[in-house]
Amino acid sequence: MSAYIVGVLVPLVFTFILRNSKKDKRRGLPVDVGGEPGYAIRNRRFTDPVTSAWEGISTLAELFEQACRQHPNKRLLGTRKLISRETEVSVDGRSLEKLHLGEYEWLTYRKTFEAVCSFASGLAQLGHKSGERVAIYADTREEWFIALQGCFRRNFSVVTIYSSLGEEALCYSLNEAKATTVICGSKELKKLVDISGQLDTVERVICMDDEQPSNLSLVDRSLTWNITSMAEVEKLGRENPIEPDLPLGTDVAVIMYTSGSTGLPKGVMMTHANVLATVSAVMTIVPDLGSKEVYLAYLPLAHILELAAENVIAAVGSAIGYGSPLTLTDTSNKIMKGTKGDATALSPTVMTAVPAILDRVRDGVRKKVEVKGGLSKNLFNLAYSRRLLAINGSWFGGWGLEKLLWDFLVFRKIRAILGGRIRFILSGGAPLSGDTQRFINICLGAPISQGYGLTETCAGGTFSEFDDTSVGRVGAPLPCSFIKLIDWPEGGYLTADSPMPRGEIVIGGPNVTLGYFNNEAKTREVYKVDERGMRWFYTGDIGQFHADGCLEIIDRKKDIVKLQHGEYVSLGKVEAALSVSSYVDNIMIHADPFHSYCVALVVVSHPALEEWASNTGTPYTDFTELCEREDAVKEVHSSLVKAAKSARLDKFEIPGKIKLLHDPWTPEFGLVTAALKLKRDVIRRAFSEELSRLYS
Ligand SMILES: *[C@@H]1O[C@H](CO)[C@@H](O)[C@H](O)[C@H]1NC(C)=O
Ligand SMILES: *[C@@H]1O[C@H](CO)[C@@H](O)[C@H](O)[C@H]1NC(C)=O
Ligand SMILES: *[C@@H]1O[C@H](CO)[C@@H](O)[C@H](O)[C@H]1NC(C)=O
Ligand SMILES: *[C@@H]1O[C@H](CO)[C@@H](O)[C@H](O)[C@H]1NC(C)=O
Ligand SMILES: CC(=O)N[C@H]1CO[C@H](CO)[C@@H](O)[C@@H]1O
């Protein structure tokens, strides 16, 4: 009990600390821009968009070379060696692979630069000619970064492809981009061999792993291409070095294929100048970013957020340790019991994350606290509510001794999950719920910044500053972007709206990419150059600007459906509100314009529903059967209604009927994108029968 008393007394004695005055800080300022009329905001610190944060640097190749010269002996790339691999069979008969991974082994900036130069020479020696494109199709790893920088040194455009992309989309992307060399891991090599007959332009494949799957039986597939290992390419280049062929800022660095939520993937063309603008802008935002950071890299490098982040870290002389989502923490799925996850092995100081991963961390911590119960649960709840008050500015002493105390008593152990040294987290890719943002903020004690940007704007857009403790907003424009709202009268969003201007979000600046590869019609539709020469991208997202110049995303043009009686339902907004229910693992709202109500497909959280069943003594033989039970459906439905009410949803926004689904939606099954966004059309098709039954 003494902890309680100290916890209450200390703040009473030491709370003469200034009230948070950041609330009134203006973070974005109005700016006069060209193009379509609207309401435009810029970053408060920069009148003109930033193009490069480094004197005389205009490409990523120059930026990397400069860093290697400045920090030759510092650690750059770290990878864990595989010590052993085991297969465990779980209770329900599924086999799980478990890994025992060793400590990080590091390459210095000098060694990395040597590898990059050798790879660049080797690639040219293999016969890859200038003007041809290289595709990188692999999970995030050290070799990915080396291959990328190697291509940059030879002015080869790199086509990036998610390793989780389906066969059809993979084939389409490689053929459309006319890639002649593909760089991949042994896992992806198998998939590539399977579709080799349909690849029109591939001449050679470089495998990142030395040991290729032995049973590939390449001969009888009569492959028309050669497979070389990355080590061999580097050796070839080391023995036959050639001069670099450096690009200009206006040359295309990356063609990034994004798995769109509808149809075939689109390749977004990014110049070196585009990516450099984003990298430069991010530099100005992470507080005191220097050469002492350790960054945990595990998100797909085929995503602009990760690509930009790693280039920032490598530009300032810091270290990048590679990991994966399935080996992140000591309790991650693939980590052998009793061995270390990536975060504890690395103790990173900076991380990027997508909301789905942060949600998982939050749920994991909540569950642990719940299981422990008793005093430690009470202590956690007390500590949490005290910190919440402090952060909210309604209680003095936000950063004083009390914080130290709670950190020591309660949050230290939680921080240890991510290695204990995290000082900054950047979240992007999808909206982060306010609840999770607060939770992570409090438990990790690290500022968490939410960014908003798109592949088309090279991740440029907005970014919430580290001292902004509000939730649900995405911050002020990045120094490389202007953000403009324009009227969308059909949807009822106007810049003249009160209390805040609202409208479609349009992003302008040097970060805005060239457009879609091989798709001029689509490019013309969503990219526009104004009379002053600024390039703008029309995002299709709906936002509103707060008085301090921070943006809040409130809707998406595509995701708004008009019901029979004329009410508009914003699918994303309703989903975000309902996913607060503990029964929801994933949820999709469906609104049919010919009906007056909407319905929902709910992927149920197994533990939550099983717990309900055992608490209520509901009998069931397997989970599938449980999902079919009427009383289970009723229970989940009433939990959704409760969530809807507390989010003040309108009656027509609350799903009238729901269907419980037992299988999770993962990128492998194609129902969500690699960034875990819903693919509405695919889900609608897959569950068309269920949906029509909900309306009958
Ligand atoms: C880089 O490659 C592109 C495409 O092949 C080419 O148009 C451009 O001129 C090259 N840049 C330089 C500096 O040679
Ligand atoms: C290679 O072996 C694995 C497992 O032993 C098997 O699943 C796979 O189908 C084999 N691949 C080929 C191309 O034979
Ligand atoms: C594969 O490599 C061998 C030896 O380096 C070479 O003779 C052959 O022409 C290559 N084949 C293709 C399709 O490039
Ligand atoms: C935080 O402050 C806002 C207004 O400043 C208030 O509406 C909200 O209820 C507060 N939240 C908590 C948990 O105290
Ligand atoms: C490639 C590109 O979009 N370039 C534009 C970047 O932004 C400046 C103005 O900030 C324009 O002049 C460029 O045309």
**Chain segment 272-309, per-residue pLDDT in tens:** 999 999 999 888 878 788 899 999 999 999 989 999 99
Q: How far does the centroid of ligand 3 lie from the alpha carbon of residue 158, in Å?
A: 23
Inform me whether the pLDDT recorded for 583 exceeds 50. Answer: yes
Give the pLDDT confidence of 329-360 residue by residue, as tens digits: 888 889 998 999 999 999 999 999 988 788 87
Q: Which atom of ligand 1 is nearest to the CA of 155?
A: 1
265 confidence band (pLDDT: 50, 70, 90) = confident
Inform me whether the pLDDT recorded for 377 exceeds 90. Answer: no
563-694: CATH number: 3.30.300.30
pLDDT of residue 214: 55
pLDDT of residue 499: 92
Q: What percent of the chain has pLDDT over 90?
A: 52
23-49+355-420+422-556: CATH number: 2.30.38.10
Inform me whether the pLDDT recorded for 84 exceeds 90. Answer: yes
Q: Is the CB of 216 under 6 A from ligand 2?
A: yes
464-490 mean pLDDT: 87
Pocket probe mutation, ligand 3, options 226, 228, 232, 236, max atoms within 8 Å of Cβ:
226
* SS3 per-residue string spanning 437-473: HHHHHHHHCCCEEEEEECHHHCCCEEECCCCCCCCCC
More confident residue, 365 or 540: 540
Distance CA 323, CA 232 (A): 24
9 confidence band (pLDDT: 50, 70, 90) = very low
DSSP one-letter string for 500-537: S-EEEEEEESTTS--EETT-HHHHHHHEEE-TTS-EEE
The token duo for 9 is 């007394």
Q: Looking at ligand 4, which residue's alpha carbon is closest to its atom 3?
A: 392
Q: Which ligand is nearest to the CA of 19?
A: 4
pLDDT of residue 128: 96
Give the pLDDT confidence of 616-638 residue by residue, as tens digits: 998 888 889 999 999 999 999 99
399 confidence band (pLDDT: 50, 70, 90) = low
Amino acid at 41: I
653-676 mean pLDDT: 85
End-to-end CA distance of the chain: 58
DSSP one-letter string for 2-53: HHHHHHHHHHHHS---PPP-GGG---EEE----SS--EEEEETT-SS----S
More confident residue, 399 or 53: 53
Q: Which ligand is nearest to the CA of 250?
A: 5
7 confidence band (pLDDT: 50, 70, 90) = very low
* CA dihedral (313, 315, 320, 322) positive or negative: positive
SS3 state of residue 368: helix
Question: CATH: 3.40.50.12780, 3.30.70.380, 3.20.20.370, 3.40.50.300. Which one for 60-86+108-317?
Answer: 3.40.50.12780
Q: Looking at ligand 5, which residue's alpha carbon is closest to its atom 7?
A: 510
Laid out side by side, the sheet with 350-353 consists of 95-108, 75-89, 319-322, 294-297, 350-353, 424-427, 448-453, 461-463, 476-477
Evaluate whether 655 touches 571 at the Cβ level (below 8 Å): no
The token duo for 663 is 């299988």
Distance CA 505, CA 483 (A): 7
Torsion of CA 360, 102, 313, 307, to 10 degrees: -60
Inform me whether the pLDDT recorded for 218 exceeds 60. Answer: no
77-81 mean pLDDT: 97
pLDDT of residue 262: 56
Pocket probe mutation, ligand 2, options 187, 196, 215, 219, max atoms within 8 Å of Cβ:
215
Q: Which of 168-172, 293-297, 511-515 has the lowest mean pLDDT?
A: 511-515
Q: Looking at ligand 3, which residue's alpha carbon is closest to its atom 3?
A: 226
pLDDT of residue 285: 79
Q: Looking at ligand 1, which residue's alpha carbon is closest to its atom 9?
A: 251
Inform me whether the pLDDT recorded for 182 exceeds 60. Answer: yes
pLDDT of residue 263: 65
Q: Which atom of ligand 4 is nearest to the CA of 389?
A: 14
Amino acid at 118: S
Inform me whether the pLDDT recorded for 461 exceeds 80. Answer: yes
Domain segments of the chain as ranges: 23-49+355-420+422-556, 60-86+108-317, 563-694
pLDDT of residue 213: 58
602-609 mean pLDDT: 92
